[in-house]
Amino acid sequence: MSIALEWAAAHTALASDPKATARSAQELQEQAGQTITAQGIGAQRAMELFDQVLLPATRASDDPMNLAYIPAAPTRAAVAFDTVVSAANVFGGLWEGGAGAIFAENQVLRWLADLLGWPSDAAGVFVSGGTNGNLSALATAREHARRTRGGKPAGGWALACASTAHSSISSAARLLDMDVVMVPVDANGHLTGEALEPLLAADERICAVVASGGTTNAGIVDDIASVVEVAHRHGAWVHVDGAYGGAALTAPSARHRFDGIEQADSFIVDPHKWLFAPYDCCALLYRDPRPAAEAHAQHAAYLDSIDRGESNPADLAAHLSRRTRGLPLWYSLATHGTEAYTRAVERCLATARTVAAAIRDSEHLELLLEPELSVVVFRRPGWDLEAYRRWSHRLAKEGVMLCVPTAFQGEPALRLAFVNPSVEPDAVIAVLSGTMGEPDGS
Ligand SMILES: Cc1ncc(COP(=O)(O)O)c(C=O)c1O
């Protein structure tokens, strides 16, 4: 036991290795060998293998120069408390099993509900990630429509979203047997009520609309106010996917982009993305939690004695047993205070603006849009996808910076995602200006 705990204590204080990277299963098999044996290999050997073979074959999510996908930057307090949550082994599905821990999680959810401008009876639950959060919210929307509209429409249910919505939305639609109606975005990439209106008027199957509170690829926040107004006029549920961008609700310089969210029906934000919590953690909130309980509460003889008047997280999403994964965020928020979160998110936004300005002013680079949040999308005129890949691989291998190609408006592009307040904008700008002058990415 002490071997694992000592490693965790030491590792929490260490910087991660930017050269750590995935290896093939064959290579890992050769290095790690067979670890599951009849007699066991012993704690010392298992820990050594984890430290020297397995962990180095994972990406350093929190390295300040990891700017690919959506990285992560959990506070040390949150990481340390994740170990405490495991040690406490609380059943967090029902109040009866986890009251104290759920109480603390609920205070965090209340903080988020206040940022959303939601009423005192809003409620939520922490689930494993944005994919489960979106699925659970959309299951609630569909069940609510079934109850309030008197059954399934001919042709089945549909949801509407922009093509820029995260891939987990179409995955949820598939699982829920819903069609996806794609809404064209405006010239700046936003889903708007104006574009939604004719589609909702023409198609009664649409029972839910998904707006992005920060698209993953470009950090664009849809026009939530007009989407809510139109969707509600047509009796459709509005879910806002803020898995990445919802953290910006804490930032006065970006809060206006979310105007209208006060009236949305459900919302998610992943604290493991930009609220400085470790994996895995998604906060799912409902402005009115009753439809969620109608969709998700499980009933069985052995569950009949549960007090349904209490806050039962299992009632609000697709799960029953759950770890109280909101607690690392609770501990970190309680330790540092919410103003520290505002400062950290503002710092990421400022970094994005500084890097975007440097790209705009650079001779070699072209900024593809002004960042709304903390994603910067740009290109290197003259480079094709192969050149981007070569450059990206070289920098990753050398542990200089992780930045992978994407596509923007159908063309290859590069994107940088800033969710780590330790990123030094000057270091990023120096890498871009020092490595992107070559005509072919080599
Ligand atoms: C906007 C958005 N929604 C949903 C998800 C899915 O979240 P998760 O990976 O936590 O399941 C992501 C992940 O990047 C995202 O960026």
**The predicted structure's pLDDT at residue 325:** 98
168 lines ligand 1 (CB under 6 A): yes
Burial of residue 287 (CB within 10 Å: 0-12, 13-18, 19+) is buried
- Pocket test of ligand 1: the residue of 59, 131, 275, 282 to mutate, having most ligand atoms within 8 Å of its CB, is 131
**The predicted structure's pLDDT at residue 154:** 93
Give distance in angstroms: CA of 270 to centre of ligand 1.
7
Any idea where the domains of the chain sit in the sequence?
81-336, 338-435
Start-end of H helices in 13-56: 25-32, 43-49
So what's the architecture of 81-336 in CATH? 3-Layer(aba) Sandwich (3.40)
Backbone torsions φ then ψ of 239, nearest 5 degrees:
-110, 130
Task: Give the residue from 143, 60, 92, 96 showing the smallest Cα distance to 323.
Answer: 92
- Pocket test of ligand 1: the residue of 135, 136, 166, 375 to mutate, having most ligand atoms within 8 Å of its CB, is 166
Closest CA to ligand 1's atom 4: 130
Give distance in angstroms: CA of 134 to centre of ligand 1.
9
> What homologous superfamily does CATH list for 338-435?
Aspartate Aminotransferase, domain 1 (3.90.1150.10)
Which pTM value belongs to this model? 0.96
**The predicted structure's pLDDT at residue 396:** 92
**The predicted structure's pLDDT at residue 303:** 86
Give distance in angstroms: CA of 34 to centre of ligand 1.
34
- The stretches in the chain having pLDDT less than 50 are none
| 185-223 as b/e: b if 16+ CB within 10 A | beeebbbbbebbbebbeeeebbbbbbbbbbbbbbbbbbb
Within 10 A of 240 (CB to CB), how many other CB atoms are there? 30
DSSP secondary structure letters along 161-193: EETTS-HHHHHHHHHTT-EEEEEPP-TTS---H
Q: What are residue 211's DSSP bridge partners?
A: 240
